[in-house]
Amino acid sequence: MWHVVAAGFLFFPGLYQLCIRCARRALPGWLEADYSLLSSRIVSSIHGVIAAVSGITVITSCKDVKYDRHWLATAYLWLIIPYMVYDTYAMYLRHWYKCKDSKVLNGKDHFSSAMNSLLRKEFLMLVHHISILTILVPIGLFIRGDIGDFYIGCLLVAELSTPFVSLGKILIQMNLQNSLLHKVNGAFVLLTFFACRILLFPFMYHAYGKQFGIPLYKVPFNIPLHCNITIATIMAPQIYWFTLICRKAIRLYSNSASIKDR
């Protein structure tokens, strides 16, 4: 599968550079940080679509949730490696451009300023990326053995919300936060995030219980403890992010209602 890793290291940075070139032509006058931010969000959206389609394919192909196999489950775990490495560097690059464009370095070089900004503003996302690379990917590739492709597919489907989240940020970046498209997209963000990142985990328990004839509430007591711990660890940040999304949605639709009442 090393060819998948190599292809990923070519595809994601190449797509990022292509988006930057197109953005420079379509939106002259923007700062480099804006081009970088827009391009990284487009790449994230494309990755989210590819991951979700792959996950749905795996889920629908695996009738036995424990033992059925599908080659996409393993292949995409290899592809996640270059994507996470690329996305981590893209996050750093955005902050590097931002420091350079603002010319506020406080006596520090670009690297130090960009790293401080990255760690301060995107610490949780960095932890998320590092955890996937150092814990989830090794478990999925080398420890789980020949079981659990169905659940790998479920985790890939979680990326279905990413294109809507990215589109919302792009619309804000282009000063379209008051547009109808932004409000409709906000509803899709809530729906897809809740369905694919919150309800996903009860669905995984339900699928296991349905196959083995175990009631949903008893499933956690009939699977290994480390499985419950892994699911809880993955689910915790999703709940936190969903809370943030709900707060933003309340502000968005509250502001819209107040404007209509005037």
Q: Are 86 and 17 in contact (CB under 8 A)?
A: no
> Residue 101 and residue 95: Cα distance in Å, rounded?
10
Asked whether residue 108 carries a pLDDT value surpassing 70, the answer given is no
pLDDT single digits (tens) 42-75: 999 999 999 999 999 999 999 999 999 999 999 9
Check residue 256 and give its pLDDT. 59
Q: Are 168 and 105 in contact (CB under 8 A)?
A: no
| Dihedral over alpha carbons 230, 79, 81, 144 (to 10 degrees) | 30
pLDDT single digits (tens) 158-171: 999 999 999 999 99
- pTM for the whole thing? 0.89
> Residue 111 and residue 118: Cα distance in Å, rounded?
10
CB atoms inside a 10 Å sphere around CB 162: 23
Structure tokens at 121: 């503003």
